[in-house]
Amino acid sequence: MIFRRLIVKRLLILLLAAFPLLAAAESPNDTIEEAAALFEKALDGRKDEFSKDKQALYATINEILLPRFDRQYAAQLVLGKHWREASKEQRQRFIDGFYNTLLQRYADGVLEYDQSMVTIMPFRGDDTKQRTMVRSVVNLDDGSKVPVNYALVKRDSGWMLFDVTVEGVSYIRNFRAELDSEIRSSSVEAVIQRLESEIATTPDE
């Protein structure tokens, strides 16, 4: 369980590292390579500041993340078949609640990002298709190597990230399984209210 939490935390570190140039890069691989370098630059000299001011950390991540992460697509995949059950208003609340929960749950992990840990593999996919994958390897402190794959979808504005898979474990699939079980035992509305409550009660630091 501890290892799985570490992997999920690393997953979000890498996910967030992929955002700054999603709309500007010419290819999916360019997106990841350029973004990783820029994200490390954004953290340079500010990690202590962000560790003491979580709201500033959230705002900084959000400024980078929000325009480049396909929130609706990710949320729809996470909600799965329950998306059809939700009203238009519930869908928007779920998108917002899921996104903000994701942001706040893993924000601290961003402070551990180190570009030297990441090796981007040569692109082997087909960037003419609607969706593609960029592969990388993360070198952990204990010397182990963890495969990390980034799933991107092509939109009018460019490539947008929607999923990250670590050692075959997708954050989309993880959240979908977790929330499907919860929805089955309660309801879509109950899950949305829980997410909204968790965001509202997150302490300022």
Please compute the mean of the pLDDT values over residues 7-22 and round it to a whole number.
49
What does the buried/exposed string (b/e) look like for 173-195 if buried means 16 or more CB atoms within 10 Å of the residue's CB?
ebbbeebbeebeeeebeebbeeb
Instruction: Tell me if 38 is assigned to some domain.
Output: yes
15-41: per-residue pLDDT in tens? 554 443 344 446 787 767 766 666 677
Instruction: Tell me if 118 is assigned to some domain.
Output: yes
- Please tell me the distance from the alpha carbon of residue 90 to that of residue 149, in angstroms, as a whole number: 30
pLDDT at 11 over 80: no
CATH number of the domain at 87, please: 3.10.450.710
The tally of domains found in the chain comes to: 1
pLDDT above 70 as % of the chain: 79
Q: What is the pLDDT of residue 75?
A: 97
87-133: per-residue pLDDT in tens? 999 999 999 999 998 888 777 777 776 778 888 888 888 888 999 99
27 or 10, greater pLDDT:
27
Q: What is the pLDDT of residue 161?
A: 86
pLDDT at 150 over 80: yes
163-187: per-residue pLDDT in tens? 989 889 998 999 999 999 999 999 9
pLDDT above 90 as % of the chain: 36
DSSP conformational letter for 26: S
Please compute the mean of the pLDDT values over residues 134-155 and round it to a whole number.
89
195 or 42, greater pLDDT:
195
H or E element, residue 1: none
Instruction: Tell me if 25 is assigned to some domain.
Output: yes
Instruction: Tell me if 42 is assigned to some domain.
Output: yes
Going across the sheet that includes 169-170, the strands are: 118-120, 131-139, 145-155, 158-166, 169-170
Q: What is the pLDDT of residue 5?
A: 53
pLDDT at 205 over 50: no
SS3 135: strand
Instruction: Tell me if 120 is assigned to some domain.
Output: yes
Instruction: Tell me if 205 is assigned to some domain.
Output: no
- 191's CB contacts (< 8 A; 6+ apart) are 94, 179, 182, 183
Task: Tell me the residue range of the domain where 69 lies.
Answer: 2-200
Mean pLDDT computed over every residue of the chain:
81
The candidate with the shortest Cα–Cα distance to 102, out of 50, 49, 162, is 162
Instruction: Tell me if 142 is assigned to some domain.
Output: yes
**Cα–Cα distances in angstroms (integers) from residue 105 to residues 29, 32, 123, 126, 131, in the given order:** 27, 23, 30, 33, 27
The torsion angles phi and psi of 36, rounded to 5 degrees, stand at -60, -40
